[in-house]
Each structure stands twice: as structure tokens, then as C-alpha cells.
Amino acid sequence: MSKSLCTLLGAGLCMFAAVTKADTVALAVPAPVPTIKADLPHLPAMPVLMQQSRYRTIPNWTPTSVADRTKAQADISAFGVPCAVDLRAEPMPDAVFSITVNAPCKPDQNIAIQYAGLTFDTATGVTGRTTFNLPAMASKGTLVSVFSDGTSLSTQLEAPDLSEYARVAVAWADALDMRLTANAPHHTPVSFYDLGEETGRTVQILSHHQSPDINRAVIRLGVAAPITAQNCGQERYAKVRHLQPNMPPISYDLMLAPTSCDRIGGNLELKNVLQDLKLAAN
């Protein structure tokens, strides 16, 4: 567009064109073509420009916000953060990892976490980020996070101090309120980790640090759930993984038969389904 033409069409139009050209991200935006008023009596006739049919009319055009255009065209989140996805695992004390999944452009998106044969569901927050503590369930293993759009990330986890811990993980294939229960003697402290959202697949992990001077001990394990209208009459599937010092890990799959809906308000308690943790004295 020449400078003289700019003078002819008026400053407003010329300024818009200048801004448009100056914007480094506007190349893909269709250049707005405003309607030109034809009534310019003081100017000499300019047949080319006065032919209105050369200008397309865009009715009801509203200007796109800079933020929206930036987000759509530059791989940057609504908060101005680059969209690159990221899975990080930071080793913590007690053979636990702090896991962070960062996906700024995938806010409120479900993620399936797969690790050591166990799977649970979690979700990113409004910023596209989620973080949780994950007890190691294998001395070496791969953590995979799969977004609901199919995006997959993975990282390797190594826990050299895992051999000091006895752990039992129960992965429930549905959200039916089933709980891992434990009865441990007072000198055998245990901690519980709950992983996953209540509405999806969950994993519960019991962990006990076996100190070198510990006596022999037995931790009794069971599963329990209140019987409700939501969970009665439904099968429950679970995968169980046991880790104990100086023993190879074991895993087994369970299907708990449906409880009768006549028992709503009662409790389902199974004491002989999980193998008790029998800790040998060092």
C-alpha cells in the first residue's frame, strides 16, 4: 500500500493496516477488509478505488483478542506458558517419588498413570498441572502417563532403597469405595498412600519401613467397603502387588463377587483375600 493511497483513504484505515503488518503473529489471520464509504466529494475521481465491488464486505466482524490469537497460533497456554508437556519424578525420602505432570495446554484433562503393573486415574488442574507422591513399587520401573487425548509421556524410576520396605498395593479397576485395611502391631508403623481420583481407577498402597532391629511381625490385611446403592450388585476387580525385603515381588488378580443389594447399609469385609504381610526378623 503506497503512502499516497494512505493519504487518500484516511488515517484510520492506514493505521489499522500498519498495526496488522507490524504484528508478527498476524500472518495467518485474514486481513480485515473494511467497507469504504464512497462519498468523497473533494477528491478527484479515482475509478479503480471507487469501484466498491473490489472490496469484500465482512458483516458483523469482531476483532480477535490478542490473547486468543496468541494461544491458538503460538503453542502457548491461556496463561501464557508454552504448551510443551513434561513428566518429572523427583526422588524423596522413604523410597517415594514426587511426580509432576505438566501440560499447560491440557487443563482439566484425565490422565491414566501406569506403573509396576498398577493403573490409576488422575487429572490435570486448570493450569494443566498435577502432582502427587508415588511410593516405589519396583526397584526399577517405568512410569507412563497417558492423557485422554492419547498423548503419552514416560520416565524411568529407580529406587535403590526400596529393599528396606514392605509394601502392598491394591489397584481397583473401578470407583466402588473398596478399601485396603490393615491391622499392625503398635511397634510396626505403617503408612497409607491413596492415589487416583475418587471417580476413576484408584491405587492404595500400604508401606512399612523395616528397620534393621525390628522383631518378627505380622500385619494382617483385608479389604472392606460399605455396601451402597452405587456398589451393590457389581463385580469388583483388583490387582494386588506385594513387595517384601529379600523376596521376589508377587502379583495376583482378584474379582470380588457382587454383594447383594439387600445388604445396603451393611459392610463387606474380606479378611482372607489378601496375603498377610509376614515380616521376618533381620
Partner 1 sequence: MKKFARLVCGALLCAAPVMAQDVALTSRDGTFRIDGTLLSYDGEFYRVDTIYGPLTLDGEGVDCDGPGCPDLASFVAEVRFSGTRRMADVLLPALIQAFAERNRLTVLREVEDDTHSTFVLRDTDRVRARFTLRATTTAEGFADLIAEEADIALALREPRSAEVAMAQEAGSGDLVRGRRARVIALDGIVAIVAVDQPIKSLSMDQISGIFSGQITEWSAVGGAEAAILAQTPQPDTGLYEVFQSRVLAPRGTTISPDIQTQSNLEELVDTVADDSFAIGLTTLSEIGNADPVRISGTCGFEQTPSIAALRSEDYPLVMPLMMFTPARRLPLYARQFLEFTSSPAADLVIRRSGFVDQSITTSDFGAQGDRLAHAISRAGPEVPLSELQRLVDGLRSRDRLSTTFRFEVGTKLDVQSSENIMRLARALETGTFDGRSLLFVGFSDSEGPAGPNMRLARSRAEKVQELVRDAAKIADFSQVEMTSDAFGEALPIACDDTDWGRAINRRVEVWVN
- Report the residue number, 142 or 275, with the smaller CB distance to partner 1: 275
3-class SS of residue 170? strand
Give the H or E element holding residue 217.
strand 217-226
For the bound state, the minimum distance from the C-beta of residue 251 to partner 1, rounded and expressed in Å, comes to 9
For the bound state, the minimum distance from the C-beta of residue 278 to partner 1, rounded and expressed in Å, comes to 5
- Report the residue number, 14 or 190, with the smaller CB distance to partner 1: 190
- Report the residue number, 160 or 185, with the smaller CB distance to partner 1: 185
| Closest C-alpha to 169, from 205, 143, 116, 220 | 205
For the bound state, the minimum distance from the C-beta of residue 129 to partner 1, rounded and expressed in Å, comes to 37
Give the H or E element holding residue 132.
strand 129-135
For the bound state, the minimum distance from the C-beta of residue 231 to partner 1, rounded and expressed in Å, comes to 15
3-class SS of residue 73? helix
Distance from CA of residue 217 to its chain's centroid?
A: 38
- Report the residue number, 207 or 259, with the smaller CB distance to partner 1: 259
- Report the residue number, 206 or 256, with the smaller CB distance to partner 1: 256
DSSP 44: P
Q: C-alpha cell of 170?
A: 491394591
For the bound state, the minimum distance from the C-beta of residue 214 to partner 1, rounded and expressed in Å, comes to 12
For the bound state, the minimum distance from the C-beta of residue 216 to partner 1, rounded and expressed in Å, comes to 8
For the bound state, the minimum distance from the C-beta of residue 261 to partner 1, rounded and expressed in Å, comes to 17
Kindly list the residues in this chain that would bind partner 1 in the complex (CB under 8 A).
183, 185, 215-218, 220, 247, 250, 252-257, 270-273, 275-276, 278
- Report the residue number, 91 or 222, with the smaller CB distance to partner 1: 222
- Report the residue number, 125 or 258, with the smaller CB distance to partner 1: 258
d(C-alpha 153, C-alpha 272), whole Å: 38
Compute the chain's Rg from CA coordinates: 31
For the bound state, the minimum distance from the C-beta of residue 113 to partner 1, rounded and expressed in Å, comes to 23
d(C-alpha 271, C-alpha 282), whole Å: 27
| Residue appearing with cell numbers 483478542 | 65
Residue 83 burial class via C-beta count within 10 angstroms: exposed 0-12, middle 13-18, buried 19 and up = middle
Angstrom distances, CA of residue 105 to CA of 34, 82, 203, 245: 34, 8, 27, 42
DSSP 188: S
d(C-alpha 73, C-alpha 141), whole Å: 37
- Report the residue number, 88 or 271, with the smaller CB distance to partner 1: 271
